[in-house]
Structure 1
């Protein structure tokens, strides 16, 4: 109750800031630097808007600042934002997001993600798994993180929010080239190497250009396996290639073609005991690779524009982990997704605005599970989804354009199926070919108030959802009558404010979430009573709800010094006991699996010149906190906890007048080694941990 009073007090304080307007403040949220009324976003799918005017709780990371900070991974940067937690999945080489405490099931084949993930205009969403790639952060335009459900604009899986990774388009007007390379060393591990290069070439000036980006990173391991023996066995190598072609044949028509190819090899799991060792002896490597292709056609009329983004994803995750001293389990996920969208939106400056759209998606996740010694059969299945959606939104400004009311709806229809040709237990039943149909209609209503050009206050009601899916044959055989998993729906009521006053810029939002039929997991026994073998099986829980608050403050102390911080708290928990058949798997008041209650950060940036030499220095440091994650073994009722994790980083950058810079940095300054992500496995050494303290230097050059 004390924290709830504090949350309301923070909201009142933010509203009181609206009463004064003492000029202009620069928000230099490292690495998301920029003025809140100058940062341009496209979050509402209705053309470009300034961040100040968007009535959504949204954080923006500048691509140029990510380059300057030497960030390799988009997810590393996103994990420092208020209300957001990012963690690696158990088998490695894949990431999951929790936004405002809303997280997917810990089991990676028990439902899609709760946050939609976009790479440019490509929606990266799989049918029955929450895995998302950890995209390379070099040469991006920006990253937008929308917090709160966005089902009307972004459709399925935008339950808790949206992550948009937006790369730089090819520049048809000028040649560009830049590169960076660095070395570092990890305590308890070895040396690391990375390099990136980006080149932009106008093929026909003003009409046609190509932009190419290549990246490579080699990270040392830091976990030992004494029984092999093997030191630093969990090293990794990642390579990424990106090509974009931009065509501007007329002033009104544009076409952007893109290809993104990535391959990552992880030699072992980033999990260990407290002394950074593992007792395993068998192969635990993971290969992840994907190819993403996109084409976006756009045409501008006098009063509106139309866009037609088309995309195709081919994704593969092939990983092993030890299940006993004599065998490893191999799991291979192959996924292909085709998406087509068509949308139109108004571009005039009148009091009315509108957007409409329709989308089609055809997706398939094919899975192979091999446990060769224990089972004579493999598990082979394919989950398919064919969906269509239509949506529209209209806005009206009034009272001399100081207020705006926007409302929208999205209708979603999804035909899902499961084709299972074999299962681990083999002889327990015939192949399965089942299907279901799911539908959802989600609304959004927002009232915005613009008391001045520096402040925005809004109140919103919105919904987000995930589609349902079929149960596996093994689960149905072990628990006859187990039904398909239904869609879940999250309703959000929110009041927020953002703006600047004097040396302060701020963003604050207070919200209440109501999560209906959340997709949770249970365990069913596919073995025998004497030799039980439990598999995680999804089901729908009872409603979960709770209050929350996100708050960010930035202070421009002097021309060179900026301080700031953020905090996010939520009280999301089950409103009553949750049963799976006759077994109670959650108690009233329990938090959901892998749902952090509190996140926070503090940072300081200081820039200065070295006299009149043309050289400049920049010092940056930040501290980030994520409260412990918990997860529950729904079969035994045992709760497993991670640790409260506090990390810090520090860097000093020297920029020369000759287009080069050198950045000296320390990541995980305090050598945090707590449990980031717990496990319900009896093998408790499988808990995830962070990379230890890493010290290095990064050199950059821009032509």
Structure 2
């Protein structure tokens, strides 16, 4: 019989949460199945069950700073169920055994209880609930705690998540204009009008269509989910490298809750910084309507000096943001979430330095600031039926305005300042409705439709700062409609086949702006395509499963800025196909080893890349084809209670082969921003200090191999090939938590993946150093 509920959230990255850690828990008085799912999210543990009737049991809710075990005991008190702990972060809900009859004589021996099977660990990033163990593909979920610093305060964010996961890489141009890459699918270090290779979602809605990642702060975000490989079937155009999904904490309809956090930091040879953040959760009508509001500000001190202008620490950045969410539960099984996200990023200058000058310094004639204004609105309707049917309908709207300046002063006239300005204006409307049902052993189905309308304008100006003149930019408008579906068939209890596809019809229209067209181009382009996926999962042993998967994706084309000034060109869509196999092991019991190993082969055609020419002017082109061979591995070992050891690594081999349409691009070189080897490792220990407190220490190491800015001169400049360490400690008692971290312990300079100022690249002296050794002290209080 199909179980009525298989509940849990998963932590697939080797950095695991610990059930012995106390966390702020706030679960409303809802049905037991929903209460267990909420508790799993908040406590950072896996909770599974194959029992029927959980949805018909009412709970009184639970609130306080508790361990997962204590919260479960309170939640299940007075119900027919009890929790059994199978591992430090895994629990199984079973029926409470009946009381034993009174014995008339002593029992000589107590039979050994049977070993409980591991609970089904359900993941939600795949748009239908699927067991992690039986998911036919590579999936990573990063959660605060266990060495990851995001979520609890505003100071740390995606950089910490990237440092813990070698399959994630990022450029370092600055907050609000970085590009994320997943598993070696990287095009260039520069940002332009193209779609990035990794799409970012906030909950159920995309945060952008074209351009860079807007860099949303992760304060009060519950977890970051990463789907590796192209996700054309489930997510459509743009997701050729994978999906990064930010999952915020949901509104609690039953309890008033709040927290505040703040911190200060000091950077060697730099200016101080700090952060402050607050969250409040208010039930307006208990169980029916509630509000959750978040506000934060982060000031990152600068550490780059400009010797020509006689200025110190020029590259400071301030990020200010707010999030407001309303949740309504008008009827049983229904929730309606409406919310907005607003964030402003202001960077005083770029963060590159130049070799041949004093450390961490450069010589420029102009300040190179950056400003971004970002707004996202979303409405999500969610309905769950007792028989497992699940309806989701999500609508999002995005407005992003970003302004940049670069110093384009010519070396031949060093005292005549020249500025290069860009203006990016992006508007996005997205909608998706889907219906799904989950079965046992990975079985189930999903069907849905999606519509996206995007308008992106990329305008440019060049000249003396007080006499700028427009040069050719582009505007692209895209309408994307799609039908998609997926089905998982359990051919036997140990073997499940998953297949699906997406039919997409897309129309893109483009026009040059602020300039005369000097070459022919295709103004509009329509395409209809099918992106299939097929996967298989084989349960080798009760806690070991092998998987295989094939999937594809694409990025849209259009017109783009061409090399030189005053020219536009056609940009062809690029396509990607990936085949992967792997094996995954879950830990059974309190101690032991969990991990995974995967191999992937990627075929990438007509690669779109944002580049710069020899004069420094950005442009976009199709640069050819590539094959990426990747090997990834991760392990999480718990040798004794409270102690964890984490290790993750990624190997890849890439080479670019120029297509006939791009004969001038160098072949046989590696893709940019794709080090052949990256590794992260960590060890941590946490212990209780009294009834209401605990303490912990941790240490981590990250290594990034050598790569280049681009595939040809002048972009064949080395970067990467550095290792950096991290130390941290925390102490918590009651509602108060204190933290201390030391980043870049050995004060490594390095060279991060960034192009800096494109007009300085031809000198080959530019590099983007790591932030020097930085000490952070923080405090938070929750009630």
TM-score exceeds 0.5: yes
1:498 correspondence with 2:585: yes
1:486 correspondence with 2:573: yes
Q: Give the counterpart of 2:405 among 305, 309, 320.
A: 320
Counterpart of 1:197? Answer: 278
Counterpart of 1:361? Answer: 452
Counterparts in 2 of 1:239 and 1:388: CA distance versus 1, 3 Å: same
Give the Å deviation of 1:493.
Answer: 3.0
Counterpart of 2:296? Answer: 215
Q: Is the 8 Å Cα contact of residues 92 and 269 (structure 1) preserved in structure 2?
A: no
Counterpart of 2:56? Answer: none
Q: Per-residue CA shift, 1:316-353, capped at 9, x if unaligned?
A: 11111211141221111010100011111114559851
Using the alignment, how far apart are the partners of 1:431 and 1:314 within structure 2? 31
Describe the SS at the equivalent of 1:76: helix
1:159 correspondence with 2:237: no
Counterpart of 1:529? Answer: none
Q: Is the 8 Å Cα contact of residues 629 and 676 (structure 1) preserved in structure 2?
A: no
Counterparts in 2 of 1:81 and 1:593: CA distance versus 1, 3 Å: same
1:571 correspondence with 2:653: yes
Q: Is the 8 Å Cα contact of residues 615 and 655 (structure 1) preserved in structure 2?
A: yes
Give the Å deviation of 1:675.
Answer: 1.0
Q: Give the counterpart of 2:503 among 406, 411, 415.
A: 411
* Unaligned residue ranges in structure 2 (runs of 5+): 1-10, 19-43, 46-88, 91-118, 410-415
Using the alignment, how far apart are the partners of 2:618 and 2:177 within structure 1? 19
Larger radius of gyration: 2
Provide the aligned C-alpha RMSD in A: 2.8
Q: Give the counterpart of 1:381 among 469, 474, 477.
A: 474
Give the Å deviation of 1:380.
Answer: 4.4
Q: Give the counterpart of 2:437 among 334, 342, 346.
A: 346
1:646 correspondence with 2:739: no
Counterpart of 2:77? Answer: none
How many residues get paired?
Answer: 657
Using the alignment, how far apart are the partners of 1:670 and 1:46 within structure 2? 44
Counterpart of 1:672? Answer: 748
Using the alignment, how far apart are the partners of 2:508 and 2:573 within structure 1? 11
Give the Å deviation of 1:304.
Answer: 1.9
1:606 correspondence with 2:685: yes
1:281 correspondence with 2:365: yes
Give the Å deviation of 1:420.
Answer: 2.0
Counterpart of 2:115? Answer: none
1:507 correspondence with 2:618: no
1:269 correspondence with 2:350: yes
Describe the SS at the equivalent of 1:643: strand
Matches within 5 A, 1:114-153: 114-127=197-210, 129=211, 131-153=212-234
Counterpart of 1:18? Answer: none
Give the Å deviation of 1:500.
Answer: 2.2
Using the alignment, how far apart are the partners of 2:442 and 2:174 within structure 1? 51
Counterpart of 2:73? Answer: none
Give the Å deviation of 1:107.
Answer: 3.3
Give the Å deviation of 1:632.
Answer: 3.6
Counterpart of 1:591? Answer: 670
Using the alignment, how far apart are the partners of 1:563 and 1:160 within structure 2? 28
Counterpart of 2:394? Answer: 309
Counterpart of 2:384? Answer: 300
Give the Å deviation of 1:115.
Answer: 1.0
Counterparts in 2 of 1:221 and 1:484: CA distance versus 1, 3 Å: closer
TM-score computed with the length of structure 2 as normaliser = 0.79
Q: Per-residue CA shift, 1:353-374, capped at 9, x if unaligned?
A: 1101110000011122111339
Using the alignment, how far apart are the partners of 1:614 and 1:523 within structure 2? 57
TM-score computed with the length of structure 1 as normaliser = 0.87
Using the alignment, how far apart are the partners of 1:438 and 1:487 within structure 2? 12
Give the Å deviation of 1:303.
Answer: 5.0
Give the Å deviation of 1:74.
Answer: 3.1
Counterpart of 2:84? Answer: none
Using the alignment, how far apart are the partners of 1:578 and 1:617 within structure 2? 57
Using the alignment, how far apart are the partners of 1:620 and 1:71 within structure 2? 20
Using the alignment, how far apart are the partners of 1:569 and 1:27 within structure 2? 17
Using the alignment, how far apart are the partners of 1:618 and 1:91 within structure 2? 32
Give the Å deviation of 1:672.
Answer: 1.7
Answer with 107-116 or 307-316: which moved more.
107-116
Q: Is the 8 Å Cα contact of residues 629 and 678 (structure 1) preserved in structure 2?
A: no
Answer with 117-126 or 369-378: which moved more.
369-378
Counterparts in 2 of 1:477 and 1:278: CA distance versus 1, 3 Å: closer
Q: Is the 8 Å Cα contact of residues 193 and 458 (structure 2) preserved in structure 1?
A: no
Answer with 598-607 or 470-479: which moved more.
470-479
Answer with 287-296 or 96-105: which moved more.
96-105
* Unaligned residue ranges in structure 1 (runs of 5+): 1-24, 525-531
Give the Å deviation of 1:125.
Answer: 3.1
Describe the SS at the equivalent of 1:228: coil
1:371 correspondence with 2:448: no
Using the alignment, how far apart are the partners of 1:218 and 1:59 within structure 2? 30
